[in-house]
Structure 1
């Protein structure tokens, strides 16, 4: 077992429970089928909390679908159970599809994805009808809208319904941002405009500035060859990244809400790629050794290796 020396930082930690210890408890409660405690916990969260995060944790637990169906058989109007089961169906569908590019996904895999997404959609429509302010159900309906290819207008309608109750909902904003990218039928103009709208609409220190970094990363990844090399050299791209970071990840009031590790990671990666190592180093220091799979997995092969490479370079010179 090799131990990190005093001079070399520890390896990146991709375990989400390291950033948010309540994840461990949620997983244990779901495995133990302790619905009373789960419901009390979610009901007790402050109103502005992103409940989609906790629902997502529950939806990752294998077998949770079985006892959610039992709860709904007894209580068909249980909004939380509808939302957890709907979210679980989305994940089962995506596991069948896999993360492979569309041309590598078989007809059977697409059929499996769509069958589970249609089941999810029915559950989540019921959840949002019973509780129109449910951020977790609306956010998941942005994923089903994307997977079922319901189009830009329907995705925006769903986002607007959520935003009426939760105006700076980072995970919902991230899902709509994906939908607005060309790979899901949108355009770069629409995606960049939405990211900027979220940045300027949110209070300083909010996560929403991370969307500016995410859309620049998406745009850069979509390019090839010389175009890719030149993209991050553009003055306006660098200026937008600095402005967004100073309103979010590098702001003194930056809030460590659900998603903060992703936001710091996107800025750390982009400042590394643009050669702004002082700002990259500030983001890495804020992270400690916490990491999320993205953006690092997009930087070629192994996410941990990409993280360490860029972190070591930034901390050595920044």
Structure 2
């Protein structure tokens, strides 16, 4: 039988709700301004749930700020409302700034970003004062620390406040990892060190060891030309990635917690890039056709790069 007759694989699905259906419900509730339903949902989440996921879905809904601002004025002690509005202000600021490198961002865009981040910061400071254990508020404050350039120590301090109550918080760890990279005035030693630390203490089967892959991916991406291939050929990089995958995505008890799609995608991309097609194929099989924006949008066209790497891996891995 020829390979030509094999059915074409479905295109990658970047819709968050395909992996986590509650995302669609949350966005609908926000669009319908049904605060009571949103409150009940978030309050009812099991202890230890990464509530940043829900807050992020709500904070991405256009116009949600129009009814949240009066709500927060009327109920200044509603920690969830303060946090969602804070997340929304962060998003509005980042939309103004755009994701371009700093040299392509105008002074007006930076001013717009900083104005919204300062508004977010006021809301989030109040939220963490009212409830120091509310993970999603601290998580947003890691982002505001980065955008307002409050420095590595302040970002770490905020992460540590969150980690007291939530020691394996993947969203917060991933946000701090970005800040620890050189592009945000960190260093590769700091980034890799933090990723290894998170991986070492996380439970087996948790997605946190994926931070090791994220740090290597960021490091690879920051290099140019032949340096990239040389980086991925280093034996310690290969060993570390294989071990991190065994602790997380390839572990029999792998938890498909929030963030698992990006974690698996990051391993898939790296194993593909280093020519380890059996491991890359195993990652793509785990994903089915699910995809996260990260890491695929780093390659330019996210869907095309996913398909190219997946098809090569599955053909030979």
Aligned to 1:166: 166
1:314 to 2:313 alignment: yes
Contact 2:261 2:287 in 1 (8 A): yes
- TM superposition outliers: structure 1 runs of 4+ over 6 Å: none
Shift in Å, 1:217? 0.5
1:151 to 2:174 alignment: no
After superposition, where does 1:12-91 map in structure 2 within 5 Å?
12-91=12-91
Shift in Å, 1:225? 2.1
Separation (CA, whole Å) in 2 of partners of 1:52 and 1:86:
12
Separation (CA, whole Å) in 1 of partners of 2:254 and 2:237:
22
Separation (CA, whole Å) in 1 of partners of 2:28 and 2:180:
36
Separation (CA, whole Å) in 2 of partners of 1:138 and 1:33:
24
What TM-score, normalized to structure 1? 0.97
Aligned to 2:127: 127
Shift in Å, 1:116? 0.2
What TM-score, normalized to structure 2? 0.98
Segments of 5+ residues of structure 1 without an aligned counterpart are: none
Shift in Å, 1:207? 1.2
After superposition, where does 1:225-244 map in structure 2 within 5 Å?
225-244=225-244
Separation (CA, whole Å) in 1 of partners of 2:227 and 2:61:
42
Separation (CA, whole Å) in 1 of partners of 2:51 and 2:304:
32
**Which string of whole-angstrom CA distances, capped at 9 and with x for unpartnered residues, describes residues 231-275 of structure 1?**
000000000000000001111111011100000000000000111
Shift in Å, 1:226? 2.1
Matched positions, count: 313
Separation (CA, whole Å) in 2 of partners of 1:276 and 1:6:
23
Q: Could you say what secondary structure the match of 1:217 adopts?
A: helix
Shift in Å, 1:74? 1.3
Contact 2:229 2:274 in 1 (8 A): no
Separation (CA, whole Å) in 1 of partners of 2:59 and 2:226:
42
Shift in Å, 1:6? 5.7
Output the aligned Cα RMSD.
0.8
1:110 to 2:110 alignment: yes
Distance 1:213 1:81, change over 3 A: same
Q: Could you say what secondary structure the match of 1:164 adopts?
A: helix
Separation (CA, whole Å) in 1 of partners of 2:170 and 2:220:
22
Segments of 5+ residues of structure 2 without an aligned counterpart are: none
Aligned to 2:209: 209
Q: Could you say what secondary structure the match of 2:136 adopts?
A: helix
Aligned to 1:198: 198
Contact 2:87 2:120 in 1 (8 A): yes
